[in-house]
Structure 1
Amino acid sequence: MLGFGDAGPAAAAMAGVTAALPPPPAVPGVPVLGNALRMMGDVQQFFVDAYRDVGPVFRVRALNQSFVIMAGAAANRLLLERGEALFTSEESFGGLDREFGMRVHVLRGRPHRELRRILGAGLSRDLLAARWEQVTAETERMLDGWAQRPAVAVVDGCQRLAAAQLSIAYTGASSAARFETLRSAFELVLDVTIAGKWPAATLRWPAYRRARAEIHRFARAALAERAAAGPGEGPPDLLDRALAAPYPPDVQAGMALQGYFAGVNTVAYLYSFMVDVLLRNPEVLARVTAEVDAAGPLTFDRLRALPALHGLVMETLRVYPPAPGSARTALEPFDFEGHRIEAGQRVLVATCVPHQLPEHFPDPQRFDIDRDFAAARRASLYAPFSVGGHTCLGAGMTQVLAVATVALLVRRLRLAPATPGRPLRITATPGPNPGRRFKVSAAPRAA
């Protein structure tokens, strides 16, 4: 997700491949495992360290898989300007299409842009505004449930919360009753097809096949129910857009599943990291709480007038990006920063490495909710949701919903770490998150 001129325009891959150029250097690893242990933890920090030690393009190996990592401003610019011509996503994301009909991840060119346009309209922030009272009521109900438990596993709690919020916003009904099935199946597909954590044969397990079939029935039933009932009040939602789209039923079902899929991972992990940030930074928590207390009734329109909360979301995305890299496969050989990348090579553009470079973000180790992101966003150096044609469609909704969720959380609960002093232990799969062992105690906040 060094300015672009740090190595000159010729540093980026342009026309004219020089066959004599060497392959990218390899990051030193250990026998058999290669770089797997480092990449299983804080993968963003691993990319930053390797960038500093080896340079802007390098090779890594994790067990039987190898990747070329491209990082820095020139890499982001390349993905933005030439990504469509140089790369395909089929090898990395084809599993989502094969298993759940999520075709948008693998299309290219005009078909990709058209499907993104339709999906983007169905994932609009306008839906959150239209269903604000339903979403906030469900959020408050679920947060109040945290206070009834001796300890809350934060990642699990945030996954359940985000999945319920997004399914209500995007489809008008909560997916909470099928949460376990949705999470287990989606995470397994990601671990097999993208992370390579498990062999492809894992997707033939009977338990997974049953879960997959249940998810398909769920999506088809939701579409059939909407088709029978017709569009409701407010803007057309994800189900309406899917039904009206000129695609076969399996792809329409995959479109309907996009809202549930996003909540189980990206949004939930952002919430989880924000909880950790607030517990480790009392001054940030105090400032955010004071801002929320002064806001009065929390309407959708008032979300815009919460600068500390917006700063918290933006800075958390900088430090803990939900998508530290964009996985692709090279369609043709090309040159980058004095090295040759071959056709067919799996490539990961580590778009968020600039987040940790002082030339772009002064004092990057300091968590600063007053940081100015405007210039970095314009230059595609702030890229928590990647850059280019495959930028996350739900990025806008994620940021608005994160502001709302933290506002409701600090207004209703007082959180404390269940294990004070426990260090943050990031795990990389199926997406960077604080791990299953991160727990908090929650108590109702006194009026």
Structure 2
Amino acid sequence: MTLSPPVAPGLPVLGNALRMMGDVQQFLVDTYREMGPVFRVRALNQAFVIMAGEQANRFLLERGDEVFSSEESFGGLNREFGMRVHVLRGRPHRHLRKVLATGLSRDLLAARWDEVAARTAFLLKEWPAQPAVPVVDRFQRLAAAQLSIAFTGADSAARFDTLRSAFELVLDVTIAGKWPAVALRRPAYRRARAEIHAFARAALEERAAHPQPGPPDLLDRALVAKDENGNPYPIEVRAGMALQGYFAGINTVAYLYSFMLYALLKHPSVLARVAAEVGDEPLTFDRLRHLPALRGLVLETLRVYPPAPGSARTVLEGFDFEGFRVEPGRRVLVATSVPHQLAEHFPDPDRFDIDRDFTAARKASVYAPFSVGSHTCLGAGMTEVLAVATTAMLVQQLTITMPDRPLRITATPGPNPGKHFKVAASHRR
């Protein structure tokens, strides 16, 4: 008889909640080392089977579409904001991903690089005006501006606070289980949701009435998008596509920027290499491809501080994994970034090394900062390019100092340095 996965030790009532609300990546790595590649955790009213290690990543890559659904975890983004790509499976999913990918390309960033760079420089120049800069908040605002300009041609700054609060509430309710579903019925949230829907539809109407020159962006693609059977997507799905460009992904991008800044401050020798490499030359888009130290910083930061350490799914078809049975209906978290901290994949994993070669690890799917398989983050490539660009501009423009306090990672809505991560900034002379 096949056994159910063992239960990870935890506190009465709280279960594993406290550790999972903090540095969830370290919790997953520690528990994997203690209990093996499959175990159960509980966090208040949430219960998950955790699958971790190289074989778990391989399982998600090879059998994820067959046995898992993402409806329970990500259905809120679809129900609330029309982001259908997160819940589809099979051919419909592959088709919509392809449509979205054409509107999230690096070519758009290249075409609009001058506007993105100018907005980035402007927002970074504001940092020295504050005695203590709240890093995550400022990088969220910066990422939202960069992504919306690149993908839609217009900055969404005027609606940033509305967008952020609404999206994060949906994630906290539907994925983290931090709040009950009734939170999505509150009048303030319903007003914000209606405003966001109106904003997305107005953006599409404006683009239809006034086409722009240059390569087609996400708004252009959404206006003419058709499903896998050749039928136009309904308006709510096309509005959801527009919102992907205005806001989806800003947390992941901002958290990466924040951890990169922390890594530079923690490792002065890395900062010195990056600063020397960047120099004072203008940062053209073509030059971004020729900054190996910065590129290494991005990849190593994603290894040590993965902004998406796991992929949440629900089991459709029961299966056996590593000697244990996982039954239908179980919620599963495939902890795709656990191999990042394992010596068999990354020698001396506790050492921050921007000269690591990630080629073999990528091919083996043990380097997976953006998950693996059919639901790999569509904006992964763009995120890496923007991270190089943003950090290069920050190093050129600002001198940053940080209070001598340990990093305190929080996991809501995703792993990030939290509101207590603040720095002092001054203009470089």
TM-score normalized by the length of structure 2: 0.98
**Alpha-carbon distance in 1 for matches of 2:116, 2:274:** 21
Residues 60-113 of structure 1: CA deviation (Å, up to 9, x unaligned): 000111000000000000100110001000000000000000000000010000
Q: CA deviation at 1:360?
A: 0.2
Superposed, 1:354-433 pairs within 5 Å as 354-417=339-402, 420-433=403-416
Counting matched residue pairs gives 423
Q: Does 1:216 align with 2:202?
A: no
Q: Does 1:270 align with 2:256?
A: yes
1:159–1:263 CA contact under 8 A, matched in 2? no
Q: Name 1:9's counterpart in structure 2.
A: none
The residue type paired with residue 359 of structure 1 is E
**Alpha-carbon distance in 2 for matches of 1:356, 1:234:** 43
1:167–1:260 CA contact under 8 A, matched in 2? yes
Q: Name 1:242's counterpart in structure 2.
A: 222
Q: CA deviation at 1:261?
A: 2.7
Residues 24-51 of structure 1: CA deviation (Å, up to 9, x unaligned): 0000000000000010000000000000
Q: Name 2:120's counterpart in structure 1.
A: 139
1:272–1:433 CA contact under 8 A, matched in 2? yes
2:278 corresponds to which of 289, 292, 304: 292
Residues 160-185 of structure 1: CA deviation (Å, up to 9, x unaligned): 00000000000001000100000000
Q: CA deviation at 1:148?
A: 1.6
2:96 corresponds to which of 115, 138, 145: 115
**Alpha-carbon distance in 2 for matches of 1:381, 1:88:** 22
The residue type paired with residue 259 of structure 2 is F
2:152–2:246 CA contact under 8 A, matched in 1? no
Q: Does 1:320 align with 2:305?
A: yes
2:147–2:247 CA contact under 8 A, matched in 1? no
Percent identity over the alignment? 76
**Alpha-carbon distance in 2 for matches of 1:89, 1:395:** 19
Q: Name 2:420's counterpart in structure 1.
A: 437
**Alpha-carbon distance in 2 for matches of 1:381, 1:263:** 22
Q: Name 2:229's counterpart in structure 1.
A: none
Residues 341-382 of structure 1: CA deviation (Å, up to 9, x unaligned): 001110010000000000000000000000110000000000
Q: CA deviation at 1:233?
A: 2.2
Residues 141-174 of structure 1: CA deviation (Å, up to 9, x unaligned): 0000111221210000000000000000000010
Q: Does 1:125 align with 2:106?
A: yes
2:31 corresponds to which of 50, 53, 65: 50
Unpaired runs of 5+ residues, structure 1, are 1-19
1:167 corresponds to which of 127, 144, 148: 148
The residue type paired with residue 427 of structure 1 is T
1:183–1:264 CA contact under 8 A, matched in 2? no
**Alpha-carbon distance in 2 for matches of 1:236, 1:193:** 33
**Alpha-carbon distance in 2 for matches of 1:126, 1:258:** 17
Superposed, 1:250-269 pairs within 5 Å as 250-269=236-255
The residue type paired with residue 334 of structure 1 is F
Residues 216-273 of structure 1: CA deviation (Å, up to 9, x unaligned): 111001000001012x222110101111112000000000001233343110010011
Unpaired runs of 5+ residues, structure 2, are 227-232
Residues 374-418 of structure 1: CA deviation (Å, up to 9, x unaligned): 00000000000000000000000000000000000000000011x
**Alpha-carbon distance in 2 for matches of 1:326, 1:63:** 20
The residue type paired with residue 208 of structure 1 is Y
Residues 94-141 of structure 1: CA deviation (Å, up to 9, x unaligned): 000000000000000100000000001111111100000000000000
Q: Name 1:32's counterpart in structure 2.
A: 13
1:162–1:264 CA contact under 8 A, matched in 2? yes
Superposed, 1:57-136 pairs within 5 Å as 57-136=38-117
1:344 corresponds to which of 318, 322, 329: 329
**Alpha-carbon distance in 2 for matches of 1:268, 1:101:** 23
Q: After the TM superposition, which of the residue ranges 262-271 and 186-195 deviates more from structure 2?
A: 262-271
**Alpha-carbon distance in 2 for matches of 1:263, 1:131:** 19
1:329 corresponds to which of 314, 320, 324: 314
The residue type paired with residue 161 of structure 2 is E
Q: Name 1:17's counterpart in structure 2.
A: none
Q: CA deviation at 1:322?
A: 1.2
Q: Name 2:230's counterpart in structure 1.
A: none
**Alpha-carbon distance in 1 for matches of 2:369, 2:133:** 27
- When the two chains are superposed, the root-mean-square deviation of aligned CA atoms in Å is 0.7
TM-score normalized by the length of structure 1: 0.94
1:279 corresponds to which of 265, 273, 278: 265
The residue type paired with residue 328 of structure 2 is A
**Alpha-carbon distance in 2 for matches of 1:370, 1:262:** 31
The residue type paired with residue 339 of structure 1 is F
Q: CA deviation at 1:424?
A: 0.3
Q: Does 1:197 align with 2:209?
A: no
2:135–2:421 CA contact under 8 A, matched in 1? yes
**Alpha-carbon distance in 2 for matches of 1:432, 1:297:** 33
2:116–2:150 CA contact under 8 A, matched in 1? yes
1:355–1:381 CA contact under 8 A, matched in 2? yes
The residue type paired with residue 318 of structure 1 is R
